[in-house]
């Protein structure tokens, strides 16, 4: 689903406090960022500490991916909060997950894939109803084959592992299951501090081409997971069932944002 910046602006100007959920995706354009002027101009949109972390990345691809992720975070929060990106203030939770300090009623989650970066956001009614969300991108290229599947046995529940071994296409089943688990750790903010084997999604052996929705209760919290293909990678969003019910959808809209749109946004709002 491709939408334009005008549609995103319309969403940000909702005046009646309506709930909204969506996913913004931007392709990592190394060819564009290879231009030193463009790279430096976009870097100036970020705080000096963020610039330093990007420049410390070892590879050019990692620097580009990190820059795109930081820009998308500013872009998404600015659009949905209705604030200039220079006004945004961020803080981090106990495990390092960032949140928008200006408006706790707008939870978001970031993820980086091989080809793109993505951001899931929810516009809530009030900060009193704040709940977290999570997102992950998983690539089939991370699957090393059945001979390496045994190496991952400790991160899957017994039911999950048995289903993977018997799956007709274990590569796709593995990618789907991995995105589910990772999106949940992004939701909790615990990341690698979580025992993934305790997150049991059951006997998953297939992933439909049109995507999939799942409702499951984990740690006594009813959750909704929505997964779909994007550029040969699986994007999975995790959100509390209460948010999904209020938004009246288990399928948040996905906005494929052109990198040129991202550049134009920062030029228009900061004169880069």
Report pLDDT for 29: 95
**3-state secondary structure labels for all residues of the chain:** CCCCHHHHHHHHCCCCCCCEEEEEEEECCHHHHCCHHHHHHHHCCCCHHHHHHHHCCCCHHHHHHHHHHHHHHHHHHHHHHCCCHHHCCEEECCCCCEEECCCCCCCEEEEECCCEEEEEEEECCCHHHCCCCEEEEECHHHCCCHHHHHHHHHHCCHHHHHHHHHCCCHHHHHHHHHHHHHHHHHHHCCHHHCCHHHCCCCCCCCCCCCCEEEEEEECCEEEEEEEEEECCEEEEEEEEHHHHHHHCCCCCEEEEECHHHHHHHHHHHHCC
Instruction: Look up the CATH number of the domain holding residue 243.
Output: 3.90.470.20
Contact between residue 136 and residue 225 where contact means Cβ atoms under 8 Å apart: no
pLDDT at 184 over 90: yes
Query: Which of 64-68, 119-123, 186-190 ranks highest by mean pLDDT?
Result: 64-68
- pLDDT at residue 2, rounded to an integer: 43
Is the pLDDT confidence value at 168 over 90?
no
Name the pTM for this structure: 0.90
Per-residue confidence band for 195, with pLDDT thresholds at 50, 70 and 90: confident
pLDDT surpassing 60 at residue 3: no
Structurally, the chain folds into a number of domains equal to 1
Amino acid 271: pLDDT: 53
Q: What is the pLDDT of residue 155?
A: 86
pLDDT at 65 exceeding the cut of 90: yes
13-42: b or e for each residue (b if 16 or more CB lie within 10 Å)?
eeeeeebbbbbbbbbbbeebbeeeeebeeb
Region 171-197: mean pLDDT is 88
- Mean per-residue pLDDT for 129-151? 84
Confidence of residue 146 (pLDDT cuts 50, 70, 90): confident
- How many whole angstroms separate alpha carbon 123 and alpha carbon 103? 10
pLDDT tens digit sequence for 222-236: 999 999 998 889 999
* pLDDT of res. 56: 95
Phi-psi region of 160 (alpha: psi -120 to 50; beta: other; left: phi over 0): alpha
> What confidence tens digit (pLDDT) does each residue in 8-19 have?
666 655 545 677
Give pLDDT, residue 187: 92
Most confident of the following: 7-16, 57-66, 209-218: 57-66
Q: What is the pLDDT of residues 14-53, one digit of tens each?
A: 545 677 888 999 999 999 999 999 999 999 999 999 999 9
- pLDDT for residue 127: 60
Per-residue pLDDT band for 129 (boundaries 50, 70, 90) equals low
- Average model confidence (pLDDT) for the chain? 86
Parent domain of 112: 5-270
């Amino acid at each position: 689903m491709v939408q334009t910046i005008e549609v995103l602006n319309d969403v940000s100007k909702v005046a009646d406090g309506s709930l909204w959920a969506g996913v913004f995706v931007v392709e990592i354009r190394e060819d564009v960022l290879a231009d030193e002027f463009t790279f430096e101009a976009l870097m100036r949109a970020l705080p000096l500490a963020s610039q330093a972390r990007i420049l410390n990345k070892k590879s050019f691809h990692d620097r580009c991916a990190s820059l795109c992720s930081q820009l998308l975070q500013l872009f998404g929060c600015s659009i949905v909060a209705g604030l200039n990106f220079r006004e945004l203030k961020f803080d981090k939770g106990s495990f390092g997950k960032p949140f928008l300090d200006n408006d706790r009623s707008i939870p978001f989650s970031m993820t980086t894939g091989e080809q793109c970066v993505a951001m899931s956001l929810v516009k809530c009614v009030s900060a009193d109803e704040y709940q977290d969300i999570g997102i992950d991108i998983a690539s089939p290229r991370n699957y090393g084959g059945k001979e390496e599947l045994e190496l991952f046995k400790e991160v899957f529940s017994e039911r999950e592992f048995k289903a993977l071994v018997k799956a007709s296409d274990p590569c796709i089943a593995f990618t789907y299951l991995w995105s589910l688990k990772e999106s949940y750790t992004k939701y909790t903010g615990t990341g690698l501090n979580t025992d993934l084997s305790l997150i049991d999604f059951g006997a998953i052996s297939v992933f439909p081409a049109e995507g999939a929705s799942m409702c499951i209760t984990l740690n006594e919290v009813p959750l909704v997971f929505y997964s779909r293909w994007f550029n040969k990678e699986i994007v999975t969003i995790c959100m509390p069932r209460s948010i999904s019910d209020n938004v009246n959808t288990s399928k948040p809209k996905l906005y494929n944002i052109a990198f040129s749109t991202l550049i134009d946004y920062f030029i228009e709002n900061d004169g880069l």
